[in-house]
Structure 1
């Protein structure tokens, strides 16, 4: 099969992707995520899939599982795993509208990871139109909660991965266009301080500020960062009235390590911070965790197929381990050959400058098509 003969068209793909980007789908807005799942379900069905909608739980949106017709339908094949939630709240389109500027196109979630997901669907569609049957059956699973650590669909992803021989994850490509063949471990933590309220003007000394202790503890947490294990605080909530001493403060922290042992020590150190100072209680509880995914022989053999496909297309597919976890952490840690970050090129994910390189849409769809057509 001549991969370069398949008629992938980046401009046409961008037109198809536009409704996905303009359907804002922040993780915590289940109804918005479900609207996005509707759009994806239609495009998957139009590409020939049998669609199954899986209800959401824990307050999150639902998932879509799409299975494509195949002579070996139901046997172990290829799972394409992606998420359709984004970090951008509804209304971000006013600040970051879908906008093309030369070879760049901007929009919330366009790089992470709607662009890669759309390219994967287009790859399957073009193979079907060309009458090319993949050696293995293909399943696509789109989930709603990756951006918050996949608390509601981890079991779903892992069980689906166990039914298949390979997992492909169209998360954004590395800066050089390379793939990811391993990921660092990540742990999330919920932080809480609880003090005593009082009127801040009339009886300040009677209060015990939860905000004040949290501020000191956050500096302590971030100061724990080393080369082996990092700590950062990304969320903090407290207070409603400036004339009240705030009695409760909540925060969320993230820790990342290249090795599981380092993360385990980091978790132990974080949990040990629980203490009480000046009648204010500081409590740390553990949130969701992504395990270390270290590349094994199966993943590296899968990568070599991807590298060969990329060479036919005309670029060098590098590889390496990376931070910033994905659902590939789960499938790779299970020992299932996984190739991650084979989605679109771009930059600025999670910011108001998020964009893709438009011509990478066809490139990455072609890469996905080649993988689907070669893996057996």
Structure 2
């Protein structure tokens, strides 16, 4: 049997068969029970490899995390950490509109690109390595978390404490549009907004009311108008009103800000906080939510990892461009900590967070070989 991990007998059809259960186990972040069903699936597959698996209870009404230490003579020591999330943005029932299906070189399904496909591929690479009797230079640990899609408010500390033990961090988020990896990420900040007005009967005494919805709508235009190429503002959630015949007294909203540098993030935060208002008939309260720090590119450890990955990709037969990116991931945290981190090394695809989410099937074997190569060459 071959001992070159790049040439292990990966099979796309087999991977799709295993990945199907992952995709069809819907796991939206805010449904802790659904996320935990997905953690059950992952825990089973990890245990089947002989891993020592730990279930870490969730907090804040969120799901659990799973940490798995792969079989190795030095198991438990710091080595390579595979860091991924198993929550998605798709509510339970999305499978009715976006069923798991294969069409030519594409395979569709909720969360298949972001990021169940990449997580499964890196697990499959480890399965093949163990089956071949290959001993990796460093022990490998997997950490799957439940809340990345909402900024990782609960699991961040767990991620940081676990990552600090390891020499290398692999984040199999989906590949960039050009198939490349991510070696730095922009900062992401979230904000919670609330306008509070004065209720009244919308038909009987409209003029006596002061609409919280109207004030929020005015601010939406102001906030999104602050966007430029280097710092963006997006209002993604608005909740208000229960009765159409009542002037709304409360309106809540959530805003996401992306900035390319810490300085720009600080300026964006200041602009948002300046919207606080306690005067007038309708007041605006702005509260800062979770933040993903800037992960500066070109860190020596990360660049050294990239060179290893590029050599492996060359052996496989593809190029691996790399650069900084927006979007945010848990790689922001490990990169910010200065830990060698290679992000977006998962499957290729398009349409993440939409009802057109899909992966390119031929990227399954390609990325599994990349994963196997990284496991066997990092630390060698």
**TM-score normalised per structure 1:** 0.99
Q: Which structure 1 segments of 5+ residues have no match?
A: none
**CA deviation digits over 1:189-235, x for unaligned, max 9?**
00100011111000111111000000000100011112221111100
Corresponding position: 1:41 with 2:31: no
Distance of 2:217 and 2:7 partners within structure 1: 59
1:172 alignment partner in structure 2: 174
Q: Does the Cα contact within 8 Å between 1:3 and 1:313 map onto a contact in 2? A: no
5 Å-filtered alignment, 1:179-258, equals: 179-258=181-260
Distance of 1:3 and 1:165 partners within structure 2: 21
1:268 alignment partner in structure 2: 270
5 Å-filtered alignment, 1:123-142, equals: 123-142=125-144
1:342 alignment partner in structure 2: 345
Distance of 1:101 and 1:63 partners within structure 2: 33
Over 2 Å off, 4+ runs: 1-5
Give the drift of 1:142. Answer: 0.2
Give the drift of 1:46. Answer: 1.1
Q: Does the Cα contact within 8 Å between 1:239 and 1:248 map onto a contact in 2? A: yes
1:356 alignment partner in structure 2: 359
Distance of 2:373 and 2:281 partners within structure 1: 62
Distance of 1:75 and 1:21 partners within structure 2: 32
Match of 2:116 among 108, 114, 117: 114
- Match of 1:61, SS state, is coil
Q: Does the Cα contact within 8 Å between 1:149 and 1:290 map onto a contact in 2? A: yes
Give the drift of 1:253. Answer: 0.3
Distance of 1:128 and 1:157 partners within structure 2: 25
**TM-score normalised per structure 2:** 0.98
Q: Which structure 2 segments of 5+ residues have no match?
A: none
Give the drift of 1:277. Answer: 5.7
Distance of 1:173 and 1:200 partners within structure 2: 51
Give the drift of 1:162. Answer: 0.2
Corresponding position: 1:372 with 2:371: no
- Match of 1:275, SS state, is coil
Q: Does the Cα contact within 8 Å between 2:6 and 2:373 map onto a contact in 1? A: no
Give the drift of 1:72. Answer: 1.6
**CA deviation digits over 1:134-164, x for unaligned, max 9?**
0001000000000000000000000000000
Corresponding position: 1:308 with 2:308: no
2:335 alignment partner in structure 1: 332
Q: Does the Cα contact within 8 Å between 2:52 and 2:69 map onto a contact in 1? A: yes
- Match of 1:151, SS state, is coil
Q: Does the Cα contact within 8 Å between 2:5 and 2:376 map onto a contact in 1? A: no
Distance of 1:46 and 1:176 partners within structure 2: 35
Q: Does the Cα contact within 8 Å between 1:3 and 1:312 map onto a contact in 2? A: no
**CA deviation digits over 1:50-105, x for unaligned, max 9?**
11000000010000000012112222200000000000000100000001101100
Distance of 1:228 and 1:38 partners within structure 2: 41
5 Å-filtered alignment, 1:43-122, equals: 43-122=45-124
Give the drift of 1:47. Answer: 1.7
Distance of 2:27 and 2:230 partners within structure 1: 34
Give the drift of 1:177. Answer: 1.1
Distance of 2:135 and 2:63 partners within structure 1: 32
